[in-house]
Amino acid sequence: MRATEKLVLVVDDDRLVGNAVRRMLDRLGYTTDVYTAGWEALRVFASDPDKFQAVITDLTMPQMTGLQLAERLTSIRPKLGIILISGRCDSLTPEITARAGIRHVLPKPFGLAEIDGLLKGIIDDETN
């Protein structure tokens, strides 16, 4: 992990949501790479797995869900901190998310303080 970077991979098939998350994280001092396709985010991540300190992914996306993406990402880097965001979290159980390697589920909409607290916890875990 690169100690000086606070780079977060954001994946949401809705470009407006991805850009809104980017703006939120910019305000909090994070740098983001935003992708609208899970396969594209996976390709970028696989090329340099230590580049990112955390991942924020939407649950419901075409071709590859957030759960599927999380499973693939954590098969590359098992201790990666992943936050799953969704407007439909009611069918998710802790067992399902843990099996996929997801650390936190955050219902949409969410605020700056919520996302900042989760990211700080993930980054603290990575550096300790």
> 88 — alpha (psi -120 to 50), left (phi > 0) or beta?
beta
Domain range annotation of the chain? 7-127
- For 30-86, the pLDDT digits (tens) are 999 999 999 999 999 999 999 999 999 999 999 999 999 999 999 999 999 999 999
User: What is the rounded distance in angstroms from the CA atom of residue 110 to the CA atom of residue 113?
Assistant: 8
* pTM of the full structure: 0.93
CATH topology of domain 7-127: Rossmann fold (3.40.50)
